Amino acid sequence: MNFSQWFSIKERNTNWSTEILAGVTTFLTMMYIVIVNPTMFAAGGMDFGGVYLATIAAVVIATLIMGIVANYPIAIGPGIGINAYLVYTVMRAGGVAWQSALGAALLASGLFIVLSLTSFREMLINSIPESLKMAMGAGIGLFVALIGLENGGLVVGSTSSLVTMGDVTKPTAALTIFGLFITMGLTVLRIKGAIFMGMVVTALVAWGLGELVLPEHFFSMPHGLEHTFLQLSFQEIHLLPMVIFTLLLVTLFDTTGTMLGIGRQAGLIKDGKFPHLKSALLADSIGSFCGAIFGTGPTSAYVESGTGVSAGGRTGFASVVTAVLFLLLIFCEPIAECVAAVPAITAPALILSGAFMVESLVDIDWRDSTEAFPAFFTIVGMPLTFSIANGVGMGIITYALLKLVSGQGKTVHPLLYLLAILFASQIYYQ
């Protein structure tokens, strides 16, 4: 087999060393997910070690498919925003057992696989106006940032208002602020892997202050997967149709948007077309499906892949390199769990991940009230109701109504009206 031809090395004007560097760069920039994702699911009652291995499994499987089959330098891993919804809205606020939440994730990813093989995927994507798609991303960003601020002790509940400023003199809040400024500084200086490096520096400071207790052994054989592997339940599925729909909808838009963005950056989109898009979407949906089986939530294409593309990555071999490096992390669970035990280390990663997602707001036409108001309610609805589903529903309902009132009802896709009715009934009866 000619691997050079398989990965189109010459056709895409690259070489093996450049692709290896790109794969390593992407790995370093998204490595934080193996700590942040298990930490979130542990808050929902799941075993940290099991979710840690499930996270790695989802990344490796999906990213290998993306690299070998679709031949794109795009890494895939559990999405922070959608998994925060699964943990904090569905499991914790909704009181749904994590086994049932994973069951919902499995069904949603199964539907995603089917949609990736049909034309309905394009129709669903096209039915949502661009302003709402961008608002969804920004709203999820605020939702994730709120979770990070809460975990880091920077915002707390209040008797006089929903939230208020936390006590910044406490160790957790002070460390979170330190980690935030370190990570933002590294980002401004364009240091590769700024989020991960910020976590390392914060962890060292926490250790020096006695807040972080190091484990006896930094490395160990993989263990804990028996607590999460195939631990699915469908007993509460009849209560979760909107959860399944939200998982499907958000994952679909998040993944497609990221893939198109990275594809443009890498110069892989020709004449407005994304070659092998179906294979790329299949990689993500299969990753979500396998992730649910192993014990984590939906996966998404990672915007951090753009750092690998900036380093010269143009082929799927960069993704193969990233996947192999993640596989080596299966022996590092003790140090990951020890770091996750200090919220101030992971909180800045959540906060700044949310900040990056708000970038899309600049492209919304705020002068058009029929576009601006729905976008606004989508954005504020997610963090203020602590639910991505509510924010999406508020935006879609508002958009459909305002377009009708303004005489622009025919410009709205019929499927959007159906979605508005479904969300309205869900909000009314919840």
Q: What is the structure's pLDDT at 262?
A: 67
Return the pLDDT at 369.
92
Tell me what pLDDT residue 57 has. Answer: 93
Rounded to 10 degrees, the C-alpha dihedral 392/397/399/404 comes to 170
Distance of CA 48 to the CA centre of its chain: 18
Report helix, strand or coil for 130: helix
Cα distances (Å, whole numbers) of residue 357 to 36, 187, 194, 300: 17, 15, 16, 14
Please tell me the distance from the alpha carbon of residue 37 to that of residue 175, in angstroms, as a whole number. 20
Reduced to 3 states (helix: H, G, I; strand: E, B; else coil), residue 351 is helix
Q: Which residues contact 267 (CB under 8 A, 6 or more apart)?
A: 314
Beta bridge partners of residue 165, listed in sequence order? 155
The structural domains of the chain, with segments of one domain joined by +, span: 11-357
Distance CA 396, CA 249 (A): 12
What is the pTM assigned to this prediction?
Answer: 0.77
Residue 163: DSSP 8-state? E
Q: What is the pLDDT of residue 35?
A: 85
Q: Give me the tens of pLDDT residue by residue for the chain, a chain 430 residues long.
A: 577 777 777 877 788 888 888 888 788 778 888 888 998 899 888 998 899 999 999 999 999 998 898 888 888 999 887 888 889 888 888 888 999 999 999 998 888 888 877 777 667 767 778 888 788 878 877 887 888 888 888 887 776 677 788 888 898 899 999 999 998 999 899 887 677 788 888 889 988 888 877 777 777 787 888 888 888 888 877 767 878 888 887 777 677 666 766 666 667 666 556 667 777 778 888 888 999 999 998 888 887 777 677 667 788 889 999 999 999 889 888 888 787 778 888 788 778 877 877 877 888 889 999 999 999 998 898 888 877 778 888 888 999 999 999 988 888 888 888 888 877 876 655 5
For the chain, the C-alpha Rg in angstroms (whole number) is 21
Strand duo 163-165 + 155-157: pairing: antiparallel
Share in percent of the chain as helix, strand, coil (round to 5): 70, 5, 25
Which pLDDT does position 384 carry in this prediction?
86
Q: Which residue, 349, 340, 390, 354, is CA-closest to 89?
A: 390
Range list of H helices, 47-161: 48-65, 80-84, 98-116, 120-127, 130-151
3-state secondary structure of 78: strand
* Count of beta carbons in the 10 Å neighbourhood of residue 135: 29
Phi, psi of 196 (to 5 degrees): -65, -45
